[in-house]
Amino acid sequence: MVGMHFQINDWRLNVDENKLYRQDREVSVEPRLINLLYFLAKNPGEVFCREQLIEHVWGGAIVTDQVVTQSIFELRKLLRDGREESIHYLITVPKRGYKLVASVTEIAPEPSVDANHTLVDDDSERDVEPHQHQELDIGSTDMIFPAGPLTRALNSRKPATRRDKIEIRRWKSIAFDVFWISALIIAFGVFTYYQSETNITQAMDTHLIEFTFQETLIQDQDHIELSDGLVQKLAADIAQVSHYRVRLSKARFVAGVLPGKTVTVKIQDQAGHTYLDVEYRNNASGTTLFSRQYPLVLPQIRQVIEKASSELMQALAVPDAENKASLLMAAMPENQQALLKLVRAHHYLNVSQPSSFKEGIRLLEEALQMEPINHYLQAELLVAYYVQTALDPRQSLSVDRANQLTQQLLLAVDQGHPLSQPRIFEALALHEIIRDNPLRADAYLQQALSVRESVFGNVLLGKLAELQGDTERASEAYSEAFYMDISLETYLLCENLAFYSNLKSIDYALYRAVHPSVTTVL
């Protein structure tokens, strides 16, 4: 390979220097690519598969097919040299291998004159004719000295043969492969070590109860509405009379805090009769601690709800469960049809779709027509109108109807009616917040929170804190509301109820929970 030069189209290959020349271009090339191009130039027009290239170019070293493919790719890119015209050097022959199709000419290297490369021995000196010595003396005024021992030794050293170079490159390739294999083994070991560590992705909160209703394929829409409404009623009762925190089943999480207990409600038909099934399960042990089936006769819906609530309280060890269940039903409509419409309305008020929410408001209006002086229904309807505009700001508020409901509640307060439901005080607190009257709003809100803590109550607490200029307390209240009910509806209430709140600046963690793609720019 010593002194080998090839003309490959417009490129000139110098094997010894590991360089390619073209016009005024001089390109230094990696030895592996030079060896590959040299081999192909020695055999132009012949097709070689990857195994043949590994055998002849890499000397049979342990080289993957990917290395050969990558080398071919780099060599094509190098020979093309960024030119856009269609110039073919290396082509791929399908299912056979690769072939050099360029015009290849082996050319002799240009001779170079160097006195140090001319070795003169004693015999040749004696053969020089005398007149030549005379001409040399006459034509040159410089004195020429014979080469020293070191110079002669360097000049007499034979250059490395092609076999030696291939052997060196083979060992380099083996060392390179060993390095990468070692790196992969180390990386796999580190990955296995971290995978073997204990990763806690979930934790169970034994003081958190999740309420859910179970749907079946044969259930009709009325049963679904009634099941969801009863779930919300039972959840509100347990939150008001016990130390447990409650959560409605809306979102699904792969990690985080799991409820320690679950209450499931299902309505099903059996043998021509309708039954209400209530089940209470301990998620930590997987044990069902309470399971009851109640005949669901619509004219007796009030008694069924009160009994189910009372027995569930007893299962949760709530003291004086019967009296507490009775008190919680006191503000409910006495009219069975009005109560049924109220329960069904809660199903539609638990979603953010505008059409569904309007259906919930319609059912509340019909229930209130049946019992016009029911203050609990008035409060529920007033809150529903404001929540509707918060969930969908495009909806216009029925101002006249909202003012009418507000005046009826304020009149009940002035007349000293026994108001015990926290929803009534939440509705009045919302009215005072909208009027920018934080003192009266705080008084009503404290009355509601003294009875029970709720998602809506914490949202109002955050709005009140904003009115008072306390953004830290507002952030805590919004976060608590979202923790109690992790849903888009809760986020929209925090953002839009009564007035717009910039949650990105007030509670950035809450904002990120709903907008996970947002990143902080440092």
Model pLDDT, residue 84: 61
Pair 208, 96 in one domain: no
Range among 47-56, 145-154, 425-434 rated most confident: 425-434
Weakest-pLDDT range from 50-59, 78-87, 105-114:
105-114
In a domain, 241, yes or no: yes
Instruction: State the total domains in the chain.
Output: 2
Q: From 330, 354, 389, give the residue that closes a domain.
A: 330
Domain contains 343? no
Per cent of the chain over pLDDT 90 is: 31
The SS3 call for residue 73 is: helix
pLDDT at position 143 is 40
Is 429 a domain residue?
no
75-81 average pLDDT score: 82
Q: Tell me the mean pLDDT in the region 15-19.
A: 85
Residue 348 within any structural domain of the chain: no
* pLDDT value for 149: 43
> Is residue 417 one of the residues assigned to a domain?
no
Q: Mean pLDDT in the chain?
A: 81
CATH of the domain at 241: 3.40.50.11830
Query: Which structural domain range is residue 242 located in?
Result: 204-330
Residue 55 covered by a domain = yes
Cα(329)–Cα(241) distance, integer angstroms? 13
Helix, strand, coil percentages, rounded to 5, for the chain = 55, 15, 30
| E strand or H helix at 170 | helix 162-196
Cα–Cα distances in Å, from 336 out to 358, 371, 376, 410?
22, 11, 15, 27
Give the model's confidence band at 197: pLDDT under 50 very low, under 70 low, under 90 confident, else very high: low
CB atoms within 10 A of CB 289: 12
pTM attached to this predicted model: 0.59
Q: At what angle do helices 471-484 and 455-467 cross, to 10 degrees?
A: 170
End-to-end CA distance of the chain: 58
175 pLDDT above the threshold of 50? yes
Q: Are the C-beta atoms of residues 367 and 355 closer than 8 Å to each other?
A: no
For position 62, which CATH number holds? 1.10.10.10
More confident residue, 165 or 54: 54
Rounded to an integer, what distance in angstroms lies between the CA atom of residue 162 and that of residue 259? Answer: 74
Question: Is 499's pLDDT higher than 60?
Answer: yes
Place of tokens 């160097």: 114
Higher pLDDT, 518 or 143: 518
Which of 139-143, 204-208, 279-283, 459-463 has the weakest average pLDDT?
A: 139-143
Q: Of 330, 348, 370, which marks where a domain is finished? A: 330
pLDDT of 402 strictly over 70: yes
198-220 b/e (C-beta count within 10 Å ≥ 16 → b): eeeeeeebeebbbbbbeeeeebe
- The stretch 232-247 carries a mean pLDDT of 89
pLDDT surpassing 70 at residue 178: yes
At 254 the pLDDT is: 44
Q: At which of 107, 134, 151 does a domain end?
A: 107
450: tokens are 């003294």
pLDDT band at 3 (very low <50, low <70, confident <90, very high): low
Domain-located, residue 406: no
If pLDDT is split at 50, 70 and 90, which confidence band does 90 have?
A: confident
Question: What are the tens digits of pLDDT across the range 91-123?
Answer: 888 888 888 888 888 887 655 444 444 444 444
Average the pLDDT over 324-338 and give the result. 89
pLDDT mean over 74-92: 77
452 in any annotated domain: no
